[in-house]
Amino acid sequence: MHGNYAQRLGRIPLALLRRPQDLLRYVSQSPWTRRSPLELELPWFSYAAIDFLASVIKPTDRVCELGGGGSTLWFAQRAGQVVTLESDPAWAALIRTKLPPESARKVEIIESPLPPPFTPFDPAPYLAPLQGRQFDWIVLDFMDDEFDRRPAALPWLEQHLLNRGGALIVDDAWRYPALASKHLAKTLRFPSLGPARYGVTRTDIHYYQPTGESG
């Protein structure tokens, strides 16, 4: 979350008091072990969100990721289909080498370039390879220097790619305090420690209700 290195580390004890079940895995998966989420085969989400998603992802679900990595491998073990849109060809190639054969059959990695960071971003060309598809889960997980892309992509994702009743997963959601107010979704927030992270993060999951439902 926000703050300098010392402030981030200072939040760790309180996070462990709230979720003591995270202690052992954080010790073995902390950034000081120099193991990346791809090596760990884990999403770079909060542990609270990972635990929740592990309990609700179904083998028939279709997942779309905007940016791949350890989450690609993790979702492939649980969902029926994973489509990853990746802007870095070298990173896409590395992810492919990490996929075991039984997971690779369910994963499609599509390379689609992004404009340089902090330049005007029209999401339509970047997301065009996904046109006509529908997903139960969409993950917004751009790199840190591309975090400004997420709010711009949200309306396009809602209108064209997300099933009614589907959900949008936003990592590092603390960066976007106004994001939840810009769509008609029920938001669940999951703050906690996470794998390969210095301190606490927050992953939000925005549920979209089927047409005709309210509440």
* Structural domains of the chain ordered from first start: 5-207 (3.40.50.150)
Q: Read off the DSSP letter of residue 210.
A: P
Rounded-to-integer distance, Cα 197 and Cα 25, Å: 12
pTM above 0.75, yes or no: yes
User: Tokens representing 12?
Assistant: 């760790």
- Residue 123: how many CB atoms within 10 A of its CB? 18
Indicate the helix (H) or strand (E) that contains 157.
helix 149-160
Q: pLDDT digit of tens for each residue in the chain (215 aa)?
A: 666 667 777 889 999 999 999 999 999 999 899 999 999 999 999 999 999 999 999 999 999 999 999 999 999 999 999 999 999 999 999 999 999 999 999 999 999 998 877 778 888 898 999 999 999 999 987 655 566 677 778 888 888 899 988 999 998 888 777 665 555 678 899 999 999 988 899 999 998 865 444 44
